[in-house]
Copies of this chain bind each other. A is one copy, B any other.
């Protein structure tokens, strides 16, 4: 590990957060599989859930390799992530697909932003874990087909996408308020509001692009 204990703590925080997120993503995708209209869709969602779990095990093993306790590393993020999922529980199949696509994309962008401040080995690990598990194409094609079949579903789904973004920001602020090491890594000791603003603008633009890909207004 690095000689800087603040940096080490930030890496453990980041990997712990990602491990926790992957495990909860597994749960959510498995839950969405239960909502799937066909057994083939169910199997496909389950396959994606398993891919998330495999990412989780990669992160857990890396945490152990750098001498961290994976459970302790994940613990601080269980509450905020579980609250995010609870506040944005998909009530139907399409909401689940939009959430998976928009939520995973947002999380991936955020991790990549942090990745820019990391050592190359950790950055490679983050990239490996963020590799698309095939969910994007699946969600985009299913949501677009549903809107084509019935254009009235687009309005509620667009609102849903906005709500997801809002809840994600709420929980991100909560985490930022509690995890000093992580925030220090991101903003380099003193908060640079211009940089933070630019990052938020990039995240928002990418979110809008994803909504457009689904055929929804951001």
Contacts and interface: CB of A to CB of B under 8 A. Distances in A.
Interface of A: 20, 23, 26-27, 30-31, 33-34, 38-40, 42-43, 46-47, 49-50, 53-54, 56-57, 60, 71, 74-75, 78
A31 B39 CA distance: 18
A30 B43 contact: no
Nearest to A82: B34
Number of copies: 2
Contacts of A39: 20, 23, 71, 74-75, 78
Contacts of A30: 26-27, 30-31, 33, 49
6 contacts: A23-B42, A30-B31, A39-B74, A47-B53, A50-B50, A50-B54
A23 B75 CA distance: 29
Contacts of A40: 71
Given A31-B34, A34-B31, A39-B20, A46 B74 contact: no
A47 B61 CA distance: 14
A27 B56 CA distance: 18
Q: Tell which of A26, A39, A47, A57 has the most Cβ of chain B within 10 Å.
A: A39
Contacts of A54: 50
